[in-house]
Amino acid sequence: MKWIDFRSDTVTEPTEEMLDAMRNAEVGDDVYEEDPTVNKLQKESAILMGKEAALFVPTGTFANQLSILTHTSMGDEIIVSKDNHIFLYEVGASAVISSVQLQLLGAGNGKVDIDELESSYRSSDIHFPRTGLVCIENAHSSGTVMALDNMREVFESTRAAKIPVHLDGARIFNASVFLNIDPARLAAYADSVMFCLSKGLCSPAGSILAGSGSFVRKARKYRKMMGGGMRQAGYLAAPGLISIDKMALRLEEDHSNAKYLASRLEETGLFSVNKDKLDINMVFCGISQKSFDEDDFIDYLKKNNIKIHPIHDNEYRFVTHYWITKENIDYFVEVIKKFK
């Protein structure tokens, strides 16, 4: 029995086509740069992002941390918003791996306040750490998309201050679909960009880090140091190619399913949808009923073959993805309506 799983787009298992591509992949030792499938994925990814080169890595966290390690030196400070993944959900890795400290900007669901950003840059005063990097996130994991103009403002400001920018684009394709522009136009406002193949794009694992040729050469060595030099990684790059060639092109369906789910949830009278965070494949909603037992609700859904995450900061987050159909959403809503 397959679960109907609204917890995240990370639960997307590979399609039959992907499994076939894995079985038939042409592979080699990627540490020797001899895996043709990895090389193809890296080349196509670089082109897609408008960058000179790209590197296949195990996870999004790995890609972000590899980027920080490659851009910075020990003792640098990096600037990141306090509601970004790099600060919240990467186990404090930048302190351990890169020995950098973070300066946090206020939470903006991805949006960066330029005055706040500029006042966070460090001068050359002997007491200060060097500002080594600014990190931004688009699409933001709060379900919002950062405006292209805001990205440009950030980039122009950091350029003037000679600070590089890293874009955490775990869901860059969702942002590009929402904005209706090529991902390369987003990545143009960053020196490096990472994206995940394993979120809504159905690959079983893997992320890409892209940037200039010299950046990726340096990152390749650090990837080995971090234990990310994989051998016949072509078996993972093969579904990755399907992710970027095909899966990235169907994300609009997940976005419209999210909007459909949002409108149907309102019908139940149980939820109030946060419409400010409905840009991509996520629905955030609070509970509008007073007598509501959260544990009972989750158990009840489980008995009906549905998985959701517990409530967080007074909001549920429901995520649509390849394995969630419109019929699944109708079923979910009917099940909710019968909850007592």
Ligand X SMILES: *Cc1c(COP(=O)(O)O)cnc(C)c1O
Q: Does 279 bind ligand X (CB under 6 A)?
A: no
Nearer to ligand X, 264 or 317 (CB): 317
- Tokens (6 digits) for 120: 């966070």
Identified binder of ligand X from the candidate list 18, 37, 56, 60, rule CB under 6 A: 60
Least distance from ligand X to the Cβ atom of residue 8, Å:
8
- Residue 55 binding ligand X, by CB under 6 A: no
- Token pair, residue 130, equals 């060097």
Q: Which stretch binds ligand X (CB under 6 A): 42-50, 56-64, 220-228, 305-313?
A: 56-64
Within residues 63-82, the interface with ligand X by CB under 6 A covers: 64
Q: Does 42 bind ligand X (CB under 6 A)?
A: no
Q: Which residues of 305-320 are buried (b: 16+ CB within 10 A; e: fewer)?
A: ebebeebeeebbbbbb
Considering only residues 110 through 149, tell me which ones interact with ligand X, judged by CB under 6 A. Answer: 137, 141
What are the residues whose beta carbons fall under 8 Å from the beta carbon of 23, sequence distance 6 or more? Answer: none
Query: Cβ closer to ligand X: 174 or 336?
Result: 174
Beta-bridge partners for 167: 136, 193
**Least CB distance to ligand X at residue 171 (A):** 6
Query: Does 223 help bind ligand X (rule: CB under 6 A)?
Result: no
* Shortest Å distance, C-beta 198 to ligand X: 6
Question: What are the Cα distances from residue 180, in Å, to 112, 167, 249, 302, 320?
Answer: 21, 18, 11, 36, 19
Residues 167-206 vs ligand X: string with x where CB under 6 A? -x-x-------------------------x-x--------
- Binding test (CB under 6 A) with ligand X, winner from 12, 15, 37, 59: 59
Q: In the set 51, 71, 85, 317, which binds ligand X (CB under 6 A)?
A: 85
What is the C-alpha separation between 111 and 262, in angstroms, rounded? 23
Task: Give the list of residues 6+ apart from residue 239 with CB closer than 8 angstroms, or none.
Answer: 14, 18, 19, 21, 22, 197, 202, 203, 204
For the record, the structure tokens of 338 come out as 């019968």
* Burial annotation 177-211 (CB, 10 A radius, 16+ → b, else e): bbbeeebbebbbbbbbbbbbbbbbbbbbbbbbbbb
Enumerate binding residues for ligand X (CB under 6 A): 59-61, 64, 85, 137, 141, 168, 170, 196, 198, 207
